[in-house]
Chain A
């Protein structure tokens, strides 16, 4: 092993585990070694906290800077960065919050924010063309499946977490009051991106389940059947209008006929 490699590993050992013997032995003997390493540790940690703060702005606003830093320090200790690209760095935070048994709202909010973070830079998709729409309308619904944009993500929650997310947006009314704890209420949300802006749209629970099934490859006819089984008199045209308004359809496919 090279001397340079030894030195880099000794530096890492000091930053991560606080074991300074090897790295300080390699530093100038002017009495500043421990102070230097403390500074590097602080700079590195602050940088990661800042990355998490940018990735999870609503969580940061909800818990405040002090508590957010405590959560972030715990995360940083357990989840080292594995890339020179910091975009994916905070992906394990929702699971981490669940693991440390933080209040469940924090983990759910983090899950929603991570989806927003991913959707912000997800691959672009073209809108469904008029011809594709016509083809969908005139095709046998038992054969039609719909492809969704990569900028659409379905998420379900045990509480209406989007209310907290919306109330803590920078442009939200300061008069908006959310009572906590949130009521237990199965909640379906679709996170989308339109014209570069990430949107969080709550759906009623049945619509959510139907559209999610559609996104997973169920045919239009099977969704219609499920809808009517779940709710007699279900307005399927309204559901299709909701889907159109969400602007998440990337294309249609036809299953092979029997």
Chain B
């Protein structure tokens, strides 16, 4: 089955689609506006995952959030991976496709983690060229997401927000703004999260991620294994007032709770989306 047209994602809350919840979602579709999933989980040629995704796609708009493209790597682009993405996107016509502003492989070795780039002119040129390549092959614009980092490169003179803004300007891509990542980085490195948000091009922010973190001593780790923290909800309220309502995902990947918990978190985001007025764009 092929879905012909992408269903637009409204400025409401959605949840991450995980295999653990497949049965429950099929039996009793939850009251959320949309769903997001990792395309790499559907790279197989057949079987239950693809069939279930087809059923879910008939009921919810979809967003595909990639984790394996290694956008910032200096290795050649993995064209086979890219073409698998394209086949999947052509089949399911997601409203958004996104990847991370990070790298995860070098010398053909993959770490399968989201590793931080130094924000230099070289990195900017490199990432923009890669995004151009991806968007040309996919024949659609993509969103790039800000990541958490646990180190600081010495030579990284461009602020992350300016790096993202310039990437948007050069490539026409959009921004997937992960507020949990903004908060985690702000706490771990003593930064002002609002300064970061102020510097982003508001029109380019097309989706927001909310998630939970874990504490390891004084360090916060972006585990996606907890409810959204009050501080991140506060940042979210500010962001919605500043940018306007945006499609918002409750992202939960580890220590998965019952589906009802994700739905409750999504409802909480919907309350904020419904109650905030646009202050500025």
Contacts and interface: CB of A to CB of B under 8 A. Distances in A.
Interface of A: 2-5, 7-9, 11-12, 15-16, 25-30, 32-33, 36-37, 39-40, 43-44, 47-48, 51, 80-87, 89, 119-125, 150-151, 193, 196-197
A4 B151 contact: no
Interface of B: 40, 43-49, 51-52, 67-70, 72-74, 78, 81, 84, 103-113, 115, 117-118, 120, 122-123, 126, 150-155, 219, 221
**In the complex, the 3 A-B pairs of residues with the closest C-beta atoms, listed nearest first:** A121-B44, A84-B68, A196-B48
Given A4-B118, A120-B48, A83 B110 contact: yes
B73 A8 contact: yes
A47 B110 contact: no
22 contacts: A3-B120, A3-B155, A4-B74, A4-B122, A4-B123, A5-B74, A9-B106, A9-B107, A11-B115, A12-B107, A27-B153, A82-B109, A83-B81, A84-B67, A84-B104, A84-B110, A85-B43, A86-B40, A87-B44, A121-B43, A193-B47, A197-B48
Contacts of A81: 109-112
Given A4-B120, A16-B109, A81-B109, A32 B151 contact: yes
Given A28-B154, A124-B47, A193-B47, 4 more contacts: A33-B151, A47-B113, A81-B110, A84-B78
A120 B112 contact: no
Contacts, number: 137
A15 B111 contact: yes
A125 B45 CA distance: 11
Contacts of A83: 68, 78, 81, 110
Contacts of B52: 196
A182 B44 CA distance: 34
Contacts of B84: 85
Contacts of B111: 12, 15, 44, 81
A30 B152 contact: yes
Contacts of B43: 85, 87, 121
Contact of A80 (B68, B110, B155, B219): B110
Nearest to A87: B43
Nearest to A124: B46
Contacts of A29: 154
A120 B44 contact: yes
A12 to B, nearest CB: 5
B154 A43 contact: no
A150 B117 CA distance: 42
A2 B124 CA distance: 13
A44 B102 CA distance: 14
B126 A4 contact: yes
A37 B151 contact: yes
Nearest to B155: A26
A84 B40 contact: yes
Contacts of B106: 5, 8-9, 11-12
A30 B83 CA distance: 42
A33 B46 CA distance: 44
B110 A40 contact: no
A162 B214 CA distance: 39
Nearest to B109: A80
Contact of B45 (A2, A36, A121): A121
B7 to A, nearest CB: 25
A122 B47 contact: yes
B154 A27 contact: yes
A27 B81 contact: no
B47 A121 contact: yes
Nearest to B104: A84
A122 B70 contact: no
Given A12-B109, A37-B151, A84 B44 contact: no
